[in-house]
Structure 1
Amino acid sequence: MKAGRGAALAMLALAPMVCAAAEVDGAQLAVWWGVPFAGVLLSIALLPLLAPTLWHHHYGKITAAWALAFFIPFALRFGWVSAGQGLVHALVAEYIPFVILLTALFTVAGGIYIRGNLRGTPLLNTGILAVGAVLASFMGTTGASMLLIRPLIRANDNRRHVVHVVVFFIFIVSNAGGSLTPLGDPPLFLGFLKGVSFFWTAEHVIFETLFLVGVLLVLFFALDSWLFARAGEVDRPDPTPDDAAPALGFDGKVNFLLLLVIVALVLLSGIWKSPLQWDVAGTPVGLPSLVRDLGMVAVTLASLALTPHAVHEANQFSWGPMQEVAKLFAGIFLTIIPVIAMLRAGVQGPFGPIVAAVTGADGQPIPAMYFWATGVLSSVLDNAPTYLVFFNTAGGDAATLMSTHAQTLAAVSIGSVFMGAITYIGNAPNLMVKAIAEDRGVKMPSFFGYMLWSVGILVPLFIAITWMFF
């Protein structure tokens, strides 16, 4: 997808101001401050259905308009100087690192081509989803998604029904699989930075993860087998017949090394503590963060330079999906600021009833309510700050949460990761996978069409998890 360069620049200029959210007293905000955020969500959900041509050509401008609908009143209310300082903070500390990381993963994974005649049988498809679930906790849901979605789509390029393959891929690889380590998903990495030990989640949510991923794999295999056996399911000649297909293997192998570098840079930025930092218009920039981001840029450039052009051609690599995600999430991150501020205000804010619902009359946390509150909000908000809101609501002390309130921390952790699969915007790789699939000709469900899949399949499983574990 291509939108005007002016819209792209406008979105970069109006990137998310998370620091401003921290400075604004959410208890003093009215609910109507969340209207621009709701406008972005409704635009993503409805305009591709009601006005597909308009959305396809102007989604960047539309998202920018909603961003301005928030930013201008915000600046008028809290002052242009304060808004400008928040803008600088957002660009330097939040949005630019977010886009740099996604771009690095998108580029490096797009430089790995799995050659050979992959046939989209139920067994192969299920195997790829299972491998992706394992990889997601070690190279991130975004890295695993970008690595495997292209070969999975190519393996099924002569089948009539492909949508269910991509939908279950989002469920398993882009979300549930990333629940075991801080490398898997941003909320868990924030917990790691707050003091949660690296292997704590793997030790305490392993059974919940095995249950969810295991049941989803079984359901997928049954559905895929039924569709595969139907007459006319394989409705096109195989574009890579056996006598013309190359031997199974990998091209662009240098990118596997670059993936390891990305993982190391992310982990290093969380472990390395340095007193050295610079002040950029009131925003502190620490040495570890600077090294991480510059390292990511270097990895991206190295991948582009070292990956043979033929590999990108074979992968049908294009920047369209990355551009779409960058523009849409810029609007989401900006307009979400007052919503997060109101949540952070706790029981004193407009969303006080939600925050109060997670605590019992005796003042003790209710793990089941934490699971659902964190999860449902993570499905429509950025799951990283949502995790932090409920992490702090539960006390904010990692040592206590890992021991006395371990069940509550487990609920917050898997709620933010698992339920990111409910909507396209619940986690960044969801939208990226959708964009890549559509770029390959897969007619993906609309925003609400996808939710019919997710609510119908995932919500009953989440209810079962609540009953079994909380």
Structure 2
Amino acid sequence: MNGATLSPLWGVPFAGLLLSIAILPLVAPKLWHHHYGKVAAAWALAFLVPFAMQFGPSETVHELVHVALAEYVPFILLLTALFTVAGGIYIRGNLHGSPALNVGLLAIGAVLASLMGTTGASMLLIRPLIRANDNRQHKAHVVIFFIFIVSNVGGSLTPLGDPPLFLGFLKGVEFFWTAKHIFPETLFIVGALLALFWVIDSHFYRKEGVLPVDPTPDTERLGFDGSVNFILLLCVVGLVLMSGVWKSGVTIDVYGTPMDLQGIVRDVGLIAIVLVSLWITPSKVHDDNQFNWGPMAEVAKLFAGIFLTIVPVIAMLRAGVDGPFGAIVSAVTRPDGSPNPAMYFWATGILSSFLDNAPTYLVFFNSAGGDAALLMTTHAATLAAISAGAVFMGANSYIGNAPNLMVKAIAEDRKVRMPSFFGYMLWSSCILLPLFAIQTYIFFI
């Protein structure tokens, strides 16, 4: 499929799905809660049926198989493994959600996000954070900043942290390159967000005055139940590293989609880890965590629609200056033909706010030349801008990164009144965008 020949109208199903995610929970919450999977499927069919009519059944099956096996299945299996393993670890003992404690948990989450992925860190810490603040009157802002810091920005230092960086690792970017080159940018954003959170949370904490009775009083010492899942978490990390380091040379072709042996081993291993975790984790741990598959099901269904409807959008972006979105690609290049890091940061970031940040990273990685050795040296500033934009600005909307939706779903399941799609974007626009503007001036100009 040549993206340069496509009409922008092919992006309507993707835009429709995004608008459905944004609007339907506001105007028809019951309809959305019970039928969001059907809505996602309807928009997927709105893309697939015209696509099959124009390009034929063979090309349609090829695209379906490619999206499923090369992109969606590995993506959802990794999320499922991290969700299951983290859900099998219960942090017992009741913490009290003071501003100091909340800042400490967010800071710990920022560090863990680059070690165990934004999904793993989010699933491990969001439940104890909500439990610590269950006697607070104002707590939506706690979850919002958790999404900013733990579900996004914190995962910027290693390929384990966020899928875009893992794709860069597979393309030849050294494992510790991002830690060396965007650590100052990460430290600036995390530090600024923690400071702002301290001010906001302290204001609400003082405003609440005498807190209501804590519904979960101290009955146990602080500790971990289901700690064997930490070993399984290390196994997940090992499988991901293995798939990037081991080059088996064995490839199986499935209807035009090559599947490397290392990828198959990784995915089978992740399935095994999910089953082992469910088998060995005591039911009491899951009950204490209020573990259920609702958040994972929502992410799986919505992202199935997103991965399908995004196909023509990514194809048009990959067409570069010759495609319908040529103006976006042209905007990241200076008049002399050299890359403009500041524009790469914003172009990658804005698209990553609404598109899947992994393919968006690849689009601009290739637009900047696609040579990892050159990008790590001569154009290091450009690669740093692409990496930072893809990871940081995933926090701009609920759909910018998969953990965002999972955290939102868990918070709402625990009766936290989270803002709507646009309400959340109001928070991100007022807090994140000014910080990104300052960061651009400091690091990328």
Deviation at 1:283, TM superposition (A): 2.2
Deviation at 1:268, TM superposition (A): 0.6
For residues 237-248 of structure 1, the aligned pairs below 5 Å read: 237-242=213-218, 245-248=219-222
The answer to whether structure 1 residue 363 and structure 2 residue 337 are counterparts is yes
Cα distance in 2 for partners of 1:89, 1:42 equals: 26
Give the gaps of 5 or more residues in structure 1: 1-23
**Do the aligned residues in 1 keep the contact of 2:67 with 2:307 (CA within 8 Å)?**
no
**Do the aligned residues in 1 keep the contact of 2:348 with 2:390 (CA within 8 Å)?**
yes
**Do the aligned residues in 2 keep the contact of 1:195 with 1:398 (CA within 8 Å)?**
yes
**Do the aligned residues in 1 keep the contact of 2:94 with 2:131 (CA within 8 Å)?**
no
- 1:233-252 deviation digits (Å, cap 9, x = unpaired): 723x112223xx11110000
Matching residue of 1:339: 313
Letter in 2 for 1:392: N
CA separation of 1:210/1:233 partners in 2, compared to 1, >3 Å: closer, same or farther? farther
Deviation at 1:280, TM superposition (A): 2.3
Matching residue of 2:258: 284
Deviation at 1:217, TM superposition (A): 0.4
For residues 92-131 of structure 1, the aligned pairs below 5 Å read: 92-131=69-108
Cα distance in 2 for partners of 1:422, 1:368 equals: 18
Cα distance in 2 for partners of 1:349, 1:369 equals: 19
Q: Which sits farther off after the overlay, 90-99 or 277-286?
A: 277-286
Matching residue of 2:360: 386
TM-score by length of 2: 0.99
Letter in 2 for 1:144: A
C-alpha RMSD of the superposition: 0.9
Deviation at 1:56, TM superposition (A): 1.0
Letter in 1 for 2:400: G
Cα distance in 1 for partners of 2:285, 2:352 equals: 36
What is the aligned counterpart of 2:296 among 306, 314, 322?
322
The answer to whether structure 1 residue 377 and structure 2 residue 351 are counterparts is yes
Matching residue of 2:7: 30
Matching residue of 2:287: 313
Matching residue of 1:203: 180
Letter in 2 for 1:128: L
Matching residue of 1:78: 55
Matching residue of 1:194: 171
- 1:224-273 deviation digits (Å, cap 9, x = unpaired): 111111135723x112223xx11110000000010010011001100000
For residues 170-319 of structure 1, the aligned pairs below 5 Å read: 170-232=147-209, 234-235=211-212, 237-242=213-218, 245-319=219-293
CA separation of 1:389/1:270 partners in 2, compared to 1, >3 Å: closer, same or farther? same
- 1:395-435 deviation digits (Å, cap 9, x = unpaired): 11111111111100000000000000000000000011001
Give the gaps of 5 or more residues in structure 2: none
Cα distance in 2 for partners of 1:90, 1:353 equals: 27
Deviation at 1:181, TM superposition (A): 0.6
3-state SS in 1 of match to 2:266: helix
**Alignment: residue pair count:** 444
The answer to whether structure 1 residue 408 and structure 2 residue 382 are counterparts is yes
Matching residue of 2:128: 151
3-state SS in 2 of match to 1:230: helix
What is the aligned counterpart of 2:46 among 56, 59, 69?
69
Matching residue of 2:435: 461
Cα distance in 2 for partners of 1:30, 1:281 equals: 26
Deviation at 1:465, TM superposition (A): 0.4
Cα distance in 2 for partners of 1:144, 1:382 equals: 20
Cα distance in 2 for partners of 1:425, 1:396 equals: 26
Matching residue of 1:3: none
Matching residue of 1:443: 417
Identity %: 72
Deviation at 1:299, TM superposition (A): 0.5
Letter in 1 for 2:299: V
Letter in 1 for 2:112: L
3-state SS in 1 of match to 2:144: helix
The answer to whether structure 1 residue 136 and structure 2 residue 110 are counterparts is no
TM-score by length of 1: 0.93
Matching residue of 2:20: 43
3-state SS in 1 of match to 2:106: helix
Q: Which runs of 4+ in 1 moved over 6 A?
A: none
**Do the aligned residues in 2 keep the contact of 1:161 with 1:233 (CA within 8 Å)?**
no
Letter in 2 for 1:112: I
Matching residue of 1:7: none
Cα distance in 2 for partners of 1:68, 1:143 equals: 32
- 1:29-81 deviation digits (Å, cap 9, x = unpaired): 01110000000000000001111111111111111111100000011111101
Deviation at 1:96, TM superposition (A): 1.3
- 1:296-354 deviation digits (Å, cap 9, x = unpaired): 00100010001000000000000000000000001111101111000000000010011
Letter in 2 for 1:239: P
**Do the aligned residues in 2 keep the contact of 1:126 with 1:217 (CA within 8 Å)?**
yes
